[in-house]
Amino acid sequence: MIILGINAYHPNASVALLRDGVPIWAAEEERYNRIKHASGFPELALKRCLQETGIPASAIDIVAISKNPYANLLKKILFVLKNKPEHKFVFNRLRAFRASSHFERDFFEAIGAKPKFLRTKFIHVEHHLTHAASCFFLSGFDRAAFLSIDGMGDFSSAMWGIGNGNRIRVMDRVYFPHSAGFLYTAASQFLGFPKFGDEYKVMGLAAYGRPTYVEAFRHMVYFKSNGQFELNLSYFTHHEGHAKIRWEGGSPEQDMMYSDRWVDKFGMARMPGERLTDRDRNIAASVQAVLEEILFHILRHLHKKTSEKNLCLAGGVAFNSLANGKISRSTPFENVYIQPAAGDAGTALGATAFVHYSVLRKSRTFVMNHAYFGSKFSEKEIEDAVKAKGLPYIVLPEEDLVQQTIKDLVEGKVVGWFQGRMEFGPRALGNRSILVDPRRPEMQDILNERVKHREAFRPFAPAVLEEEAKNFFEMDCDESPFMLKVFPVRPEKRSVIPAVTHADGTSRVQTVSKKTNPLFWKLIKAFGDETGVPVLLNTSFNEQEPIVCTPQEALDCFLGTKMDVLVMGHCYLQKAGTA
């Protein structure tokens, strides 16, 4: 059974392929067209998927689409009749509906086939059901409560319920225009971070502020019974049609979502590039605190209704790793599973899982414990790319490669690390990574200034051996493989790994397993043997662009930044003057 999943006409367009219940390929369109958060139809990712898996289009049984324009249709009609939004709001909704209706046409054009030659069946799955399926069906839990929470998809912003075996039972939802994700987006825009996906900057900035504006943000949210909440819409513009998301050009753009009442509360909005003030830092800390209140409000109700100890979390808000790390301390849930592509890209995989397990009622056998489902390149392809650049390199056996890399890291060099299959999701987890020594406090500034060219307040994450993690971090779980939970660094270790210790004494932890990434585990183990610290600073291999996919892109990034060393497969490159 071959099921192809596609997230299209929505930010973070993506493709995933499921064969007999096992994901064999998954990646975002942005990795191929090099446009961050690319929307539209994921034509390049689809072609690459079929090419790299060797599965012909004629073998696809079902195409699962993570969008259902007919979902919640009555709610949409009632909203328009009750609220009478501006004509452009209705027009934008109709345009989105028309784009979805072109899906089959765009699919057949992308694969170069005519419908009459394929036996493929198309199934549309509601947005939040795909989120729920992406976390529950791949979690390994026989039973669990689930929560999908984001900005908006198919006219709702949150859905919760319980998963049991191959069934998902929806208990409740939050409908448009009320959204925790939109609250956080509006705050991000007000703070001068207007680009789509900039919310993570606010999460990093929150550590530098105090939640002095919590009461102001609480005026924007009404907490209701049964886990529900509503926004005070006088503070927002999206419900009137003034906050359109435009994605026709590839990269989504979001109009400003906050109303003039924000200026009354906080003063003038910060413009992009302006100096950050204590007010800005305190707004970040305050909106983070209120987002957590919304999340825990839902989760406490969900636990009360289900009595489950296991929780599966998905949706864009599930990328708020600061909140994720507090769930077991702030709610009765004991075990929390979040898959690596928890945002909209993961809905492509969730659509395949929903069809396979919930529609076809197949038994569950797969647990998603790693993220390595993207493109891979042979040693020959890597060497050919290096030769095409005319760069000197050497080929080293694995043991020598690891030892040389450790030597470079200990000497304070910045290492590009390109290995195996590309990660699915926004985090580099040891295959498309930039690595440095976490013991050196200056490495934060060096990376931000020389390589990443980003704001100085943004933290870097540690990759730590799974078996050593609790010696360095105050974790409430045994593993955190997807870098999606923030935990306190043990006080006695903060001076040991200062480059990955944030201003509030925390880290966004990635635990590395010998089973799922043996080479990366071996590298960290060797670094630990050499230094006594089995931890590396791990950040994504990119500079103001999507994470690199190909050897050519890795070389361009290496040459265009002040990285010192590049390790691709068994190829070792060092810039002149760094020996």
Q: Which residues pair with 417 in a beta bridge?
A: 433, 567
Locate the domains of the chain by residue range.
2-133+347-359, 141-337, 379-574
The string of pLDDT tens digits covering residues 338-374 is 999 999 999 999 999 999 999 999 999 999 999 999 9
The confidence score (pLDDT) of residue 98 equals 58
Residue 577 has pLDDT above 80, yes or no: no
Residues 6+ apart with CB under 8 A from 66: 5, 6, 7, 10, 125, 127, 130, 344, 347, 348, 350, 351
The confidence score (pLDDT) of residue 239 equals 87
The confidence score (pLDDT) of residue 68 equals 92
Confidence of residue 277 (pLDDT cuts 50, 70, 90): very high
Confidence of residue 422 (pLDDT cuts 50, 70, 90): very high
Query: Which amino acid, residue 169?
Result: R
Q: Are strands 253-254 and 245-246 parallel, antiparallel or unpaired?
A: antiparallel
**CA atoms lying within 13 Å on the CB side of residue 174:** 29
Query: What spatial distance separates the first Cα and last Cα of the chain, rounded to whole Å?
Result: 53
Write down the mean pLDDT value for the chain.
Answer: 94
Confidence of residue 241 (pLDDT cuts 50, 70, 90): confident
The confidence score (pLDDT) of residue 60 equals 95
Residue 99 has pLDDT above 70, yes or no: no
The confidence score (pLDDT) of residue 352 equals 98
CA 263 → CA 270, 273, 288, distances in Å?
Answer: 10, 19, 19
Q: What is the DSSP letter of 71?
A: T
Confidence of residue 80 (pLDDT cuts 50, 70, 90): confident
Residue with tokens 């086939």: 113
Least confident range of 85-94, 247-256, 463-472: 85-94
CA 314 → CA 36, 134, 293, 323, distances in Å?
Answer: 21, 8, 17, 13
CA 195 → CA 18, 190, 247, 258, 328, distances in Å?
Answer: 32, 11, 12, 14, 32
Confidence of residue 507 (pLDDT cuts 50, 70, 90): very high
> What SS3 state is found at 456?
coil
Q: 343 and 12 in contact (C-beta within 8 Å)?
A: yes
Least confident range of 94-108, 207-221, 442-456, 561-575: 94-108
Which tokens in the block code for residue 356?
């396979």
Residue 451 has pLDDT above 60, yes or no: yes
**CA atoms lying within 13 Å on the CB side of residue 459:** 26
Smallest CA-to-CA distance from 427 within 476, 372, 471, 479 is with 372
Task: Identify the burial level of 501 via C-beta atoms within 10 angstroms of its C-beta, where 0-12 means exposed, 13-18 middle and 19 or more buried.
Answer: buried
Residue 88 has pLDDT above 60, yes or no: no
Which tokens in the block code for residue 89?
């709001």
The confidence score (pLDDT) of residue 115 equals 76
Q: 272 and 194 in contact (C-beta within 8 Å)?
A: yes
The confidence score (pLDDT) of residue 245 equals 74
Q: 136 and 163 in contact (C-beta within 8 Å)?
A: yes
Neighbours of 98 (CB within 10 A): 11
Residue 117 has pLDDT above 80, yes or no: no
Residue 96 has pLDDT above 60, yes or no: no
Domain 379-574 belongs to what architecture?
Alpha-Beta Complex (3.90)
Residues 6+ apart with CB under 8 A from 221: 183, 229, 230, 231, 232, 290, 293, 294
Residue 90 has pLDDT above 60, yes or no: no
Outline where 316-451 has alpha helix (H): 321-324, 327-330, 346-353, 379-389, 398-410, 443-446
- What sign does the dihedral 326-330-332-338 (CA atoms) show? negative
Q: Are strands 335-337 and 310-314 parallel, antiparallel or unpaired?
A: parallel
Q: 41 and 57 in contact (C-beta within 8 Å)?
A: no
| Rounded average pLDDT over 293-310 | 98
- Cα–chain center distance at 298: 21
| Rounded average pLDDT over 76-82 | 78
Q: What angle do CA 479, 480, 483 make, to 5 degrees?
A: 165
Residue 114 has pLDDT above 90, yes or no: no
Q: Which residues of 188-214 are buried (b: 16+ CB within 10 A; e: fewer)?
A: bbbbbbbbbbbbbbbbbbbbbbebebb
Domains 2-133+347-359 and 141-337 share a fold: yes
Residues 6+ apart with CB under 8 A from 203: 284, 288, 320, 321, 322
> Which helix (H) or strand (E) segment is 469 a member of?
helix 469-472
| Rounded average pLDDT over 148-175 | 97
Neighbours of 252 (CB within 10 A): 22
Q: What is the DSSP letter of 236?
A: B
Residue 116 has pLDDT above 80, yes or no: no
Q: Which residues pair with 487 in a beta bridge?
A: 507
Q: What is the DSSP letter of 258?
A: B
Confidence of residue 410 (pLDDT cuts 50, 70, 90): very high
**CA atoms lying within 13 Å on the CB side of residue 195:** 13
Q: In degrees rounded to 5, what are phi and psi of residue 496?
A: -80, -40
Which tokens in the block code for residue 280?
């800005």
Residue 176 has pLDDT above 60, yes or no: yes
> What SS3 state is found at 307?
coil
The string of pLDDT tens digits covering residues 493-506 is 999 999 999 999 99
The string of pLDDT tens digits covering residues 512-563 is 999 999 999 999 999 999 999 999 999 999 998 999 999 999 999 999 999 9
The confidence score (pLDDT) of residue 240 equals 83
**What does the alpha-carbon distance between residue 437 and residue 538 come to, in Å, rounded to a whole number?**
9
Q: 321 and 486 in contact (C-beta within 8 Å)?
A: yes
Residue 101 has pLDDT above 70, yes or no: no
Helix (H) and strand (E) counts for the chain? 20, 23
**What does the alpha-carbon distance between residue 248 and residue 309 come to, in Å, rounded to a whole number?**
43
Question: What CATH number labels 2-133+347-359?
Answer: 3.30.420.40
Q: Could you confirm whether domain 141-337 is CATH 3.40.50.1820?
A: no
**What does the alpha-carbon distance between residue 264 and residue 308 come to, in Å, rounded to a whole number?**
43
Query: Which amino acid, residue 477?
Result: C
